[in-house]
Structure 1
Amino acid sequence: MRTLLYIREAFLVEMRGMMGGFYKISEWIMRLSVTNVLWVLTSLPVWFFLVFGVLRASTTDELVTMLIPMAVLMPFTWFPSTSAMFSVARKWVMGDTDVPLLKTFFRSYKQNYLQAMLGGLLYSLLFVILIVDYQVYLKKFENLGVLSILFLALMVLLLVSLFQFFSLLSHFHMKTIQLLKNAVVLTIGKPLRSLSTAVGSAVIVFISFRYTFLIPFFMGSLIAVFAFYNFYLTIQKMQAMANKEEDPLPIEESPTRDEDMPKV
């Protein structure tokens, strides 16, 4: 009889453990999907031009025709919404997993809107220049060879620096020019971490395009969590080394967002 009771209690404990695990998984699915849907909805015009224009363009003229309105819209929609998504991801990475999603997202969207827009104007211009130049050179020379690798490397560096920009914007209080400068410093100064961010993000994008239902529900939020996690590890390591050696950080130090922002 005691053996049966022991088996029953062990079974109940195991079931509670399994149910707890399923509950945690379902919570993370909800967090990631809600944040990703908010990101898509608040930047919907950009997604419209991307899906129905840029990805279907067959000539350079068609590509430019779709890229121009998309690039104009991105600083005012996609960049602020991505900044808000990174702010939510920051909370999760730093251990505040129960943060209110809607309140945190839209508060960050409003507070960081101007800086995200200004940074977006520069990044959008740089991306358009790279894409159009590549299309023009490809049409002119047909086989770019080394130039193709150079364009790809520049695109990857620009994309990683963009992730650094969003991470810095969500984590520190800095002027926009400082954010842009430090994003470049972190990208070039930490090549292995930058490569890790690029490869991890590329894997997420590849899997998302393979299973397209992941794009509106998980792709952006997963990349934000992964990119900010890499950024946060870098900042913690740099701060630890600076404290140990009593030297300033390689980036310009500014107070973190939580030091003068009310708790959510």
Structure 2
Amino acid sequence: MEVYGYWGVINKYCIWVLKFIYTNVLWLAFSILGLGALGLAPSTTALFAVQRQWIRGETEIPVFKYFWNYYKSSFIKSNFLFYIMMLLGWIIYFDLKFFMARDGLIFQTISLLLFILSIWYMIVFVYLFPIFIHFELSLLQYIRFACIVGLLHPFNTIIMLITVGLIYYFMLLFPNFFYLGGISLLTYCIMLFSYKCFNSDKLIKAKTLKRDSK
């Protein structure tokens, strides 16, 4: 029985809150299932996959089944891509620390370039999982395509990064929010902003690479 009016709004709100909490629990559980190091990437991929379906209007999908299927099918590839990015991140981080600790115009210039590169790295990383579950590409193409999306949609990227930053800051202030839907809300916002980019005219040629629903 469908509820209308004021109570209908509250009912829909409560349903969505429960969905975010439920998928957040799944993300935590399957991350632990993979011993953290191996479970984080496929669990995050599966979470984005479920939320992509919600954004596409398919809000009644069997969440657990969909999550589990995507977790299994993306386990190896998502981990490989994730740790490539982590390796690149560590290289940028340690190089930045190394050059910032030294004096001289050359070192300052290199530090500035590395700082710009680190910002671009964060942009690529934010887009990476949505692109991974939305397109069929090679591993290097995922990284390249994330660069392209960030370049073509600077305003969308800035708003998305601000939103992600605010949610992250809120989780720092209220740690319990991390367990009560914080990660799920954060990834949903990223997926929502990314999906708008994927359906823009500038990326119309890339739509042929879009994954079918699983």
Q: TM-score range by the shorter chain?
A: 0.7 to 0.9
Q: Tell me the C-alpha RMSD between the 2 structures.
A: 2.9
**Which has the greater radius of gyration?**
1
Alignment of 1:164-183 (within 5 A): 164-183=127-146
Q: Tell me the matched-pair count.
A: 209
> Secondary structure of the residue that 1:165 maps to in structure 2?
helix
Matched, 1:113 2:60: no
Contact 2:128 2:143 in 1 (8 A): yes
Q: 1:254 to 1:203 in 2, by over 3 A?
A: same
Give TM-score, length-normalised by structure 1: 0.69
- Correspondence for 2:191 among 214, 222, 228: 228
Matched, 1:35 2:35: no
- The residue identity in structure 2 corresponding to 1:257 is D
**Structure 1 unaligned runs (5+)?**
1-14, 49-72, 243-248
The alpha carbon displacement at 1:94 in A equals 0.8
> Secondary structure of the residue that 2:94 maps to in structure 1?
helix
Q: CA offsets, 1:94-127, max 9 Å, x none?
A: 1112222211111111112222112112111012
Give TM-score, length-normalised by structure 2: 0.83
Q: 1 or 2 for the larger relative contact order (CA 8 Å, sep ≥6)?
A: 2
Contact 1:170 1:257 in 2 (8 A): no
Q: 1:122 to 1:18 in 2, by over 3 A?
A: same
- Correspondence for 2:61 among 96, 99, 123: 99
Contact 2:47 2:67 in 1 (8 A): yes
Counterpart residue number, 2:150:
187
- Correspondence for 2:6 among 14, 18, 31: 18
**Structure 2 unaligned runs (5+)?**
none
> Secondary structure of the residue that 1:86 maps to in structure 2?
helix
Contact 1:193 1:230 in 2 (8 A): yes
Counterpart residue number, 1:196:
159
Q: 1:21 to 1:132 in 2, by over 3 A?
A: same
How many angstroms apart in 2 are the aligned matches of 1:228 and 1:185? 16
